[in-house]
């Protein structure tokens, strides 16, 4: 079931809690990539136009930056260095229609990751309506994703709707359908491999995944699966694909009508091992195939190359995209569908 969308709801004068994914800061507190911010702006602008009082909430990954202040400064909006408390309530009570403010990193409170119902209930009391615009975290069973919709009328944002609509195309693709899987985390790719071995015409396993693939004996002789013809190694570890592999993949890409790609084909953070990823990005951008791309590292590469607009759809999600494609739903989607309205 598709959750209702906020564009059809009257939010004039209402306090709207907007869950976004602005987990885009490095350990120095600098914005690494503003792609997710740009994709979220249409929903913020819509809510402002509709006269809502917008309260933005997000998280930051542990081990990186601890405060969302740099994002608020980038957006030029008010920032409150806490999530709950009298200072938050007082600031919200003074908001006028069209005002926007951002609360501090949700994970400063341990109850967020613990999916604590009391924390979700406290958050809900800050608003009248909840809007989830963080498709990239819908696979997380955290309080602001899975529990908060139980306490407020809840809706999906404009980006959420685009993600859902475009990713659903993958279940009924044009053929030949070519699936490219790269990256590091093999476990996160296993579900999509198991499901799409029946749907895709060809599947390429590249990047660091190749180091672990040979453990899956039941897939070793599957004619749909393609492995690198040549690779670049360092200390025995595969770090990129070689020129023969790039040539082979470019040919398959030209012959394909639908391409799904998640994960870089090499260790792009190490100099000299990004060539395969860059070459494949350019090959897909030049092809006539419908193309859907996802994964933070993959998106960062094509954004840096200035190729974003050359792809049919570029997802803001990584893990959530993979889990949605593997299972057809996500905890955050189920939570919105069960929301009281």
Nearest to 152 by CA among 120, 107, 106, 110: 120
Q: Are strands 231-234 and 237-241 parallel, antiparallel or unpaired?
A: antiparallel
pLDDT score of 256 more than 80: yes
pTM over 0.85: yes
Q: How confident is residue 311, by pLDDT bands cut at 50, 70 and 90?
A: very high
Q: How far is CA 331 from the centre of its chain?
A: 14
pLDDT of residue 339: 87
- 89 touches 52 (CB < 8 A): no
Q: Are strands 78-80 and 225-226 parallel, antiparallel or unpaired?
A: unpaired
Torsion angle defined by CA atoms of residues 297, 299, 300 and 301, in that order, rounded to the nearest 10 degrees: 90
Distance between CA atoms of residues 171 and 199, nearest Å: 8
DSSP of 90-109, one letter per residue? Answer: HHHHT--TT-EEEE--GGGS
pLDDT of residue 208: 76
**What is the H or E stretch that residue 120 is in?**
helix 117-124
Distance between CA atoms of residues 17 and 11, nearest Å: 11
pLDDT of residue 105: 97
Compute φ and ψ for 229, nearest 5 degrees.
-80, -35
Whole-number Cα distances in Å, 209 to 80, 103, 128, 263 = 42, 38, 45, 9
pLDDT in tens, 81-103: 999 999 999 999 999 999 999 99
Coil, strand or helix at 222: coil
Computed over every residue of the chain, the mean pLDDT equals 93
Average pLDDT over residues 217-243: 88
Q: How confident is residue 55, by pLDDT bands cut at 50, 70 and 90?
A: very high
Q: How confident is residue 341, by pLDDT bands cut at 50, 70 and 90?
A: low
- 299 touches 262 (CB < 8 A): no
pLDDT in tens, 6-30: 998 999 999 999 999 999 998 889 9
pLDDT greater at residue 101 or residue 63: 101
Q: Are strands 177-181 and 258-262 parallel, antiparallel or unpaired?
A: parallel
Residue with tokens 């990539």: 33
Distance between CA atoms of residues 19 and 35, nearest Å: 16
Coil, strand or helix at 240: strand
pLDDT score of 335 more than 70: yes
Query: Domains plus CATH for the chain?
Result: 6-164 (3.40.50.1260), 175-288 (3.40.50.1260)
DSSP single-letter state for residue 43? H
Q: What tokens appear for 220 in the block?
A: 């070793």
Distance between CA atoms of residues 256 and 175, nearest Å: 7
Coil, strand or helix at 300: helix
The residues pairing with 294 across neighbouring beta strands, listed in sequence order, are: 262
pLDDT score of 57 more than 90: yes
Q: How confident is residue 213, by pLDDT bands cut at 50, 70 and 90?
A: confident
């Amino acid at each position: 079931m598709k959750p209702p969308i906020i564009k059809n709801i009257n939010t004039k004068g209402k306090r709207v809690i907007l869950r976004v994914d602005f987990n885009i800061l490095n350990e120095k507190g600098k914005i690494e990539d503003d792609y997710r911010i740009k994709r979220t702006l249409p929903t913020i602008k819509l809510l402002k136009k509709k006269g809502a009082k917008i309260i933005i909430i997000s998280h930051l990954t542990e081990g990186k930056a601890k405060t969302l202040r740099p994002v608020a400064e980038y957006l030029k909006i008010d920032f409150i260095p806490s999530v709950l408390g009298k200072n938050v309530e007082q600031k919200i009570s003074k908001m006028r229609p069209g005002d926007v403010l951002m609360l501090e990193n949700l994970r400063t409170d341990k109850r967020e990751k613990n999916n604590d119902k009391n924390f979700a209930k406290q958050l809900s009391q800050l608003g009248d309506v909840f809007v989830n615009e963080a498709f990239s975290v819908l696979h997380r069973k955290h309080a602001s994703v899975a529990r908060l919709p139980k306490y407020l009328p809840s809706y999906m944002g404009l980006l959420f709707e685009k993600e859902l609509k475009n990713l659903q195309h993958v279940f009924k693709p044009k053929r030949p359908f070519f699936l490219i899987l790269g990256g590091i985390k093999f476990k996160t790719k296993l579900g999509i491999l198991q499901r799409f071995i029946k749907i895709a015409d060809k599947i390429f396993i590249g990047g660091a995944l190749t180091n672990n693939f040979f453990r899956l004996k039941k897939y070793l002789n599957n004619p749909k699966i393609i492995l690198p013809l040549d690779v670049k190694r360092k200390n025995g570890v595969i770090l990129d694909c070689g020129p023969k592999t790039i040539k082979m993949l470019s040919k398959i890409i030209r012959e394909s009508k639908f391409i799904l790609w998640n994960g870089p084909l090499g260790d792009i953070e190490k100099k000299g091992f990004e060539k395969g990823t860059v070459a494949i990005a350019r090959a897909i951008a030049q092809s006539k195939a419908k193309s859907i791309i996802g994964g933070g590292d993959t998106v960062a590469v094509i954004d840096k190359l200035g190729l974003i607009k050359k792809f049919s759809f570029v997802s803001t999600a990584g893990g959530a995209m993979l889990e949605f494609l593997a299972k057809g739903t996500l905890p955050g989607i189920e939570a919105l569908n069960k929301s009281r309205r």
